[in-house]
Every structure is written in structure tokens, then in C-alpha cells.
Amino acid sequence: MASNNFIDYVKLICRSGKGGAGSRHYFRAKGLPNGGPDGGDGGRGGHIILEGNSQLWTLLHLQYQKHVFAKDGEGGGENLRSGAQGDDIVLQVPLGTIARNAETQEKMLEITEHGQRAILVPGGRGGWGNDHFKNSINQAPEYAQPGEPAVEAVVILELKLLADVGLVGFPNAGKSTLLSVVSAAKPKIADYAFTTLVPNLGVVAYRDYKSFVMADIPGIIEGAAEGKGLGTRFLRHIERNSMLLFMISCDSPDIAAEYQILVNELEQFNPDLLDKQRLLAITKSDMIDDELEAEIRATLPEEVPSIFISSLTNKNIVPLKDMIWKALEETRRDAAPVKRAGFGEEEGNEEWPS
């Protein structure tokens, strides 16, 4: 994903279609001058719909589509003819897209599956024709319903990438290099800070034709929560990840301190990120010998599993995959619903099966 093509935030001015008015009409024919009401219903206004598309990775195609207006429904006609519905507008979005109200920041919906459809802005309902209001007392109603008005909203579409593993680290920690080694992704790699300006995704092949998705986000630094560096703009892309892989270079003067800085920045952005499974990879370990590696290992935080790797020499890359897969399996197992013995009900459900 080139930096000028990765768009993860767009604002749209949306307006659904208004409903068509019901008809106030009476049947007239030769020999039947006082026929009953036969006004048809108005058509529904067009919806604005979001649909998940697994082939999309960015909101680029919506960047310049600032106004999205659906068609109005048509009015009802005589002989109980209903008006045509307004055409719906279907916006294709990548998986992981969240829609928010721009004024209240309230979450409206989210798209997480391919083919999933959700109404972003509903069209107005069509009005009933006068045929609906006839009865034994009022056999010739002279009124019909107007259609409901259109709904207008300013909507923010925000993309949060869906991945299994999120890479977290300072600039030049080797995140992009690892992604390029274990997957077919081709992120930009250079020997200066903030080489990665946009998130990158890669599918990592594992044993027995299994795989998992890895997300590399731009490096964060101390004070990112206050806007330093690239800030925390891209941290939302790891909010959905099953686990986090912290990456710190072996030439860091204090690995434990850097790890704690990263943890603190995540906590300031979203405390829920600390509930995720964590692994620690010490990168560029081809530059050190076994004796220095042992000295560094003694200083590492004990609460997180760690491993020394080198993307250049492929040192411990396979064991790293094994650790990641094991952590993912544990996460999936913990997320699976717990069944009550004999009933098959989820734990915590107070209702007994019927």
C-alpha cells in the first residue's frame, strides 16, 4: 500500500431519499360514478448502505465522494398502484470500517465480514394511500399519508485494519523488515526513522497450510499520545488485533525501559490494548554474541515471553512463528463461549433453557 493511496478516514455528507406520498384517488368508471378509494402507497426513499468487501484495503475510492444522495421514492397512483422505490446507494468498504456520527462521535455501525450489509442512512417510508383508511363509517376517505422526509447526516468512515498480530515498536526497530521476511508484503525499508508512514498488512504462512495476518504500523515514540512523532493516529489499527508483538532492537541502551514506554503509550491511547496477549521480540540479534545475549536476557521484563530474532539471518524466525501461533490459539480458546455442563448454555446466561 503506497503512502499516498492509503486512506483510513473520510467524511461524507449523506442524504437518503424521501418517501413518496400516498395517493388520494377514487375509482371512476362508466356506470360507477362513486367508486371507492383506490389510491396506492408511495414508494420508500433510497437507503444509503455500506457493504463489506474483502478485496478493499483502503477508503481511497471514497476520498473525493463528499456528497452521497439517494433517490426519492415516487408517489402512489390510481388503481392501487404503488410508487417506485428510490434506488439505494451501496458503498463498498473494506473490512474493519466503522461509521460514526460526525457531530456526536456516536458509533453507528461497523463492517467486519465480506458481503455484510448495513443501512447507514435509512430512506423515508412511503405514505399510505387513501385505500388504507376506508372503513364502514368512512367509506371515502379524503386523505392519504405524505411520505417521510429524507434523513441527512454527516458521517465519518474510519478504517481499523483486521489482523491477528500487531507489530509495536519504536522507529527502526525492524518491524517492516520482519514483515517483508515472513510474508509477501513489500513495505518501505530504510535506515532512517519513520520510514513506515502508513500501516502495512501481510499474510504469514505457517505449518500445515495455516496462516495468520500481521499488521505493521508506523513507529511510536515517547510522547506519541501528546502528538509527538506521528502521534497515535495509527494505533487504532491494532485495536482489533488478537495479540501484540513488541519489537525492540538489541542495541537499545535499556530494553526494559523502552518496553515500558511503549506500554504506557498504548495505555494512554486505549487501556483495553493492555488486555491483549503480548510477546517481545529483540531484533537485530545477529549483531551480538551468545554472551551478550545472555546478559540482555537477564534484563528483560519477566511478565512477557521474549525471543531474540534476526530478520537478516532468519535467526529464530520459525520459533517466533510458533510462539505467535500458540498465543493466537490461546486467545481464540479464551474467546470461545464456555458451555454449562448438561445444558449447552453460555456461562453467565441467567435464563434456563426452555
Q: Is 254 annotated as a binding residue?
A: no
CA distances 87 to 49, 152, 201, 346, Å, are 11, 16, 36, 42
354 is in an annotated binding site: no
Rounded distance, CA 1 to CA 124, Å?
Answer: 39
- Whether 284 has a binding-site annotation, put simply, is yes
Q: Is 198 annotated as belonging to a binding site?
A: yes
**Unique residue bearing C-alpha cell 385505500:** 131
Does 195 carry a binding-site annotation?
Answer: yes
232 is in an annotated binding site: no
Give the orientation angle of helix 175-182 with respect to helix 317-335, to 10 degrees. Answer: 90
Q: For the purposes of burial, counting CB atoms within 10 Å of the CB of 79, is it exposed (0-12), middle (13-18) or buried (19 or more)? A: exposed
18 is known to lie in a ligand binding site: no
Does the annotation flag 238 for ligand binding? no
In three-state secondary structure terms, 354 is coil
Is 197 assigned to a binding site? yes
CA-CA-CA-CA torsion for 12, 21, 41, 127, nearest 10 degrees?
70
Q: Tell me the C-alpha distance between 96 and 170, whole Å.
A: 25
16 marked among binding-site residues: no
CA neighbours closer than 13 Å in the CB half-sphere of residue 215 = 23
Dihedral sign, Cα of residue 221, residue 224, residue 225, residue 231: negative
Check whether 194 is labelled as a binding-site residue: yes
Q: Would the annotation count 174 as a binding residue?
A: yes
The whole-angstrom separation of Cα 289 and Cα 165 is 29
The answer to whether the annotation marks 299 as part of a ligand binding site is: no
Tell me whether residue 49 is annotated as binding: no
273 labeled part of a ligand binding site:
no
Residue among 203, 158, 229, 195 nearest 3 (CA): 195
196 is in an annotated binding site: yes
The owner of cell 532512517 is 192
200 is in an annotated binding site: no
Query: Is 210 labelled as part of a ligand binding site?
Result: no
For 200, list phi and psi in degrees, rounded to 5. -130, 145
Residue numbers belonging to the annotated binding site for Mg(2+): 176, 196
Task: List the binding residues.
Answer: 169-176, 194-198, 216-219, 283-286, 310-312
Binding-site members for GTP are 169-176, 194-198, 216-219, 283-286, 310-312
